[in-house]
A and B are shown apart, each in its own frame.
Chain A
């Protein structure tokens, strides 16, 4: 089996419109959560989100091309462009055929769909826009990335709620590792801000009225976010041979199902996914120095994740640094794991661990070292990124410093 290197990173999210801006915001411990601008929240119990403020497609796409793309697909292409440029990929017809695209998305272009439904149900119009279907489909991100670069290899989208991008990156990782493809663009994108979707989140009563405070005793729930993160991955040997900059090595992927409850998380299921990632990477728990937690700041997730980490790591859990960067970029659903993978990769590359922002009070049920509020310099050999979805579908990625 081949070793797999990460040679390109691309991000657009509330904290920044490039991986570099995103990282700078994270290590400054600045939360990009604020009052939502793109949706009128006056009829909602919450007003805040982590939004790409002032976004206009015109910086990135010609109007006619943008007509065909929901915001979530635009984000996917923007992040992919950055990752590919940064990786210095030189396309050949052979490489295009041997490149995979695996993206994650939870809700796809639901805000486009929402608009169409307003037309027929509320406005009483007799027709919706003919591009509603191709803009709404969850695979639109992958499709537009393939057209952007002329990539003709295996391309698909995975939808596993909040784990979507982790499952996507894991699949792409295994495809490169096994020799099925020689390059992959993988990650996730999401743009969930439309009134209908926000109403549905409101009804679940898991969204915080102010901000996201993971692992803090006074946490009040999650804050939704949007954006995209895309990685370029390739065999380590090939990356070294072409002299590419290697950000980190992707070494393990584990997944599991809770088989328990459609929304309540299970510590056992989460623990099995973490153990799976360690086994896949052939490393011991004591080798992990940092975990980018799922850390949604809901009442249920944070204590359950703490219990899962304690069960996997035993005494080593007291030496582990764990943070939830959702406190800064929000919960970007199907893009969350991609943003968090970028955070974990840059943490091992830079020797700097991003904090859990907005942290105020220790919670005995979340008694881990959660790197409260301030980034911490630390050389870490291995890091995990946890994702635990509604529906009990868990995915964990492992990264190694190069």
Chain B
């Protein structure tokens, strides 16, 4: 879980929810940040655009805090680079 990845995810959440990025920490829960289901869907949309990934509905349902969200993005990014053939 790189600092850069965490930073980008925090930024997406803060921008979408319109709260200061300082309020969003790796240990924040959605409940603490006041993120309801529609906010959550908007954040997923933001993350898909930021990282150029597709987040499946099942994956999305399991995230309840920032740490799980970062881990999910990391997993999807790893899967994406594995499926992209390396250029010589």
Residues of A within 8 A of B (CB): 45, 203-205, 209, 220-221, 261-264, 299-300
Q: How far is the CB of A212 from chain B (nearest CB, A)?
A: 15
Interface secondary structure of A, over-half rule: loop
Interface secondary structure of B, over-half rule: helix
Contact, CB under 8 Å: A263 / B38: yes
With the chains together, A209 CA to B56 CA distance in Å? 11
Contacts of B36 in A (CB 8 A): 261, 264
Contacts of B60 in A (CB 8 A): 205
Interface size class of B (residues with CB under 8 A): under 10
Q: A45-B56, A205-B57, A205-B60 are in contact. Are A264 and B41 (CB under 8 A)?
A: no
Contacts of A263 in B (CB 8 A): 37-38
Contact, CB under 8 Å: A262 / B57: no
Choice from A221, A264, A299 contacting B38 with Cβ under 8 Å: A264
Q: How far is the CB of B35 from chain A (nearest CB, A)?
A: 12
Q: How far is the CB of B23 from chain A (nearest CB, A)?
A: 22
With the chains together, A300 CA to B41 CA distance in Å? 14
14 other A-B residue contacts (CB within 8 Å) besides A204-B41, A264-B36? A45-B57, A203-B41, A203-B45, A205-B41, A205-B57, A205-B60, A209-B57, A221-B57, A261-B36, A261-B38, A263-B37, A264-B37, A264-B38, A300-B37
With the chains together, A264 CA to B41 CA distance in Å? 13
Contacts of B24 in A (CB 8 A): none
Contacts of A203 in B (CB 8 A): 41, 45
| Contact mask for chain B residues 20-42; partner A; CB cutoff 8 A; 1 contact, 0 none | 00000000000000001110010
